[in-house]
Structure 1
Amino acid sequence: MTAFDPAALREAFGHFPSGVVAVGAEVDGTRVAMVASSFVSVSLDPALVAFCVQNTSTTWPRLEHAAGIGISVLGESHDVAARSLASRTGDRFAHVTTTTTPSGALLVDGASVRLDTTVDQQVPAGDHAIVVLRVNGFEVSGDVEPVLFHRSRFRRFGAFAS
């Protein structure tokens, strides 16, 4: 076993591939979004999903009180958009086309799943918070393949031989 080291543990966690979602809203007329790779479904009744956000995030405080928050499950055509939305500088929306719902939820066009949500609760969890969101509406585009986050890189599914 490796001695506990935060950098080594982060690398170990990165060996688990995950999907990538954009979390966004229109706040005071401005599009605000971030990327999360910790998205998970939580409950069907009530309809809840969750993601984790670092306590040091400067984007989440701008989003957390929005009336509607969009969750867009990014597809493989969004690999450039994922990098853009995750950047700390520059125009995050340079390579992203979005739609805003009447609630203010910001949704990425062409995503495989788009959810219109509201914050249900936030649970402190170490250096992160677990954000639980109530799903108010959704749409699915079943023909969109996902983009994956694995070992600190955005990737696409490869062919799988059965």
Structure 2
Amino acid sequence: MSSSTAKVTFVHGDITQQQVDAIVNAANSSLLGGGGVDGAIHWAGGPEILAACRRLRETEYPKGLPAGGAVATTAGQLPARHVIHVVGPVYSTRADRSTLLRSCYVEAIRVAAALEARTIAFPAVSTGAFAWPLADAARIAVGAVVETPSSLEEVRFVLFTRAALRAFESAYSLSRARPRTQTGE
């Protein structure tokens, strides 16, 4: 698999203030708002986002969006064109759910491509109420973004805390320091 050529950047700040083509929302499966990033995006984006999510629940996702999935709506009043909602898994010490967390990033990039987005802003999916350990979530997120081919020009991680910013920057540095193995004959 070839690596993404997107510029990867890290910002300490508020994801609802990002001027990008697509903002990624760490949603819950209901798509109807919640706390943390989800609540902030719904509040800042206005009622258009909730209305679009309700339409998705009435049509494509009557049982809710499954963990690891991604779907786009309008961005409402946000300074972006789209919101891509992803449902991260709840962290578990008994089950390895890392493929679901990785899928959030890969699927968001796939949806962004379908929207012809050039810039995307990600939060630290599953690290809030879903309790995923920050360093591990950062490693999975950065790995997914760096390893997923895309036509994106910029992938921006917007981290709400300084600790999250440090974890994601560290994961990126480590991903660049690792030797790449090539397979094939």
- Greater share of strand residues, 1 or 2? 1
Q: Which structure carries more relative contact order (alpha carbon 8 Å, separation 6+)? A: 2
- Flag whether TM exceeds 0.5 (same fold): no
- Give the TM-score of the pair, scaled to structure 1: 0.26
- Give the TM-score of the pair, scaled to structure 2: 0.24
